[in-house]
Amino acid sequence: MENESQIQKVLEKLATEQLMFAPDTGHIRLFDQRMLLIPGKALAEFRSEMIKRFGEHEVQQLFTRAGYQRGIDYYHKLRTLVGDDPDLLIGSAMRLAELEGYVYHQPIAGMQVNFDQGIFQGDYQWHSSWEAEAHSNHFGVSSEPVCWMMTGYASGFSTAMFGRPVLWREIECSAMGHKACRVVGKPLEEWDDEENLAQFLQSEAFVDLPKQKTSKPKDTTHPTDNPPLTELVGASVRFNHVVHLLKKVAPVDTSVLLLGESGVGKERFSKALHAISKRHDGPCISVNCAAIPADLVEAELFGVEKGAFTGATNTRAGRFERAHKGTLFLDEIGSLPLAAQGKLLRAIQEGEIERVGGADVITVDVRIVAATNNNLRQAVEDGEFRADLFYRLNVYPIEIPTLRDRREDIPLLFNVFLDRYCQKADKKIAGITRRALDALWHYHWPGNVRELENLVERAVILADEGKTIDTHHLFNAGEMVETNAFTLDSNGHLQTSPVSEQTALPDQTIEHLLDQNLSLEALEESIIVKALARTNGNISAAARLLKMGRGQLQYRLSKLETTLKP
């Protein structure tokens, strides 16, 4: 009963602080984002039309992924209202889905969540499912469960909260003739058919979500390389956009230019492109242009004949020849010397090369994939990169998102790396603490996915056998974790989010504040006033600075105005 009372208070806070109806401007807002009231019948018609046009399997993945995104977003929004209590978070998420008209929840075995032991178990019935009703009305009795958006929503919310992939599976569905829908949720690796269940995370066929068996260390007597496709996991919109672009260009031999910051995984995406192209049986050769000395660039790319220069004791094929009938990945293409750029352009255009010191013309059939973290257009303007080569490479540019722009994928990537390094270390790790997960979420990730992998490797080494990973295992080499993260306490006041020991206020600062004999309300008022001053009175900007929704800050400002009135 106490938990129900707390959930009711959360709903009241949602209604008073987060939900806004503005009919004069045509806006409905929840969690500072625009909402729409769409008739269920119209959405059901749209769903039916999509199934008829694209097939049930494709629509299932799209709707499940949409629900997954909604679940992750609602988790982070609800945390600002209810704090870290998993029971309260899950209960609030359920009630919110009920208010939105999707289903009504009834526990069978309820929820069991233990972060330290890596336990997550849930068993519920869903009554009055909108999706089951819509499907039955259009297609009759179904042979498969159809509550795709809700299972995606539950999976996304649980994954964000637990820090590792959690999948909810519908084992009974009213669209199949059952009395009610029944769903069971548990970590991905505990499902026997996890690969099939996780298909909605595999936005295209080549994106592989590997089995995560951290509880059972792998037999390391026969180690195998981890193929690059196993790390291309994600459910974020930005990630799926890149995957869509890769699939579009895969069947043709068009040159591709991968753009993005260092560490976003450009080489892995290039290998994924090769794997789904018609050249997949050919070689995939990578070369880091920045690592080749200027006087050896031609020899590395085009090969060298014996005796061409001092030290050339053997005839050696270059990267172009080795990549014949396959793909050549040119990383850091912007670092090539101008002289080499001209010869590279000719090789790409004509499909012909000459070895250094050789007289024969060698025909090569190579698909070029180039990558850079520099602005090549600016380099062209500065005279540091040939314009003709730029336009030859820039036929099909793809911008790889930073990890900051796809934070929803952090739990999935974390689990991939955790599994890998637990296997290498022959070690069992139970999971990750809440504050460590918060630290991963708030960190600014200058090194992107590569840095995440390095941090997980470090954490696996430092964490004790059978224990959870905490912040001091991840961030102990000078990384600066964001400090201006706030949540609300049970009284609705601002409090510093316990991201990590490194992000907490220094003891001397806390002592100084206590010496001022300030009330918590006065401290909250001072923080808000300073935030508004820093943003020149812009409420939305101040809310972002304080990691609050605009409605939350507006509500507190109205309370302050009432308090300050004579």
Alpha-carbon gap, residue 169 to 145, rounded angstroms: 9
pLDDT at 546: 80
pLDDT at 169: 93
pLDDT at 231: 55
pLDDT at 201: 62
Count the Cβ atoms, other than its own, within 10 Å of residue 289. 22
Alpha-carbon radius of gyration of the chain:
27
Kind and range of the H or E run holding 399:
strand 396-399
pLDDT at 486: 46
Alpha-carbon gap, residue 564 to 550, rounded angstroms: 21
Which amino acid is residue 133, in one-letter code?
Answer: E
Q: Supply the pTM of this predicted model.
A: 0.69
pLDDT at 562: 58
Four-residue CA torsion sign, 366, 372, 377, 378: negative
Alpha-carbon gap, residue 132 to 181, rounded angstroms: 8
Cα within 13 Å of Cα(304), Cβ side? 15
Helix intervals (H) in 352-445: 376-381, 387-393, 410-425, 434-442
DSSP label of 71: H
Q: What is the mean pLDDT of each run of 10 residues along the chain (566 residues)?
A: 74 79 81 85 94 92 90 88 84 91 92 86 95 95 95 93 90 95 92 66 45 40 42 80 91 94 92 92 93 86 80 82 95 91 91 85 93 93 94 95 91 89 92 85 90 94 91 85 49 46 54 74 83 83 74 72 54
397: Cβ contacts below 8 Å, ≥ 6 apart: 256, 257, 258, 259
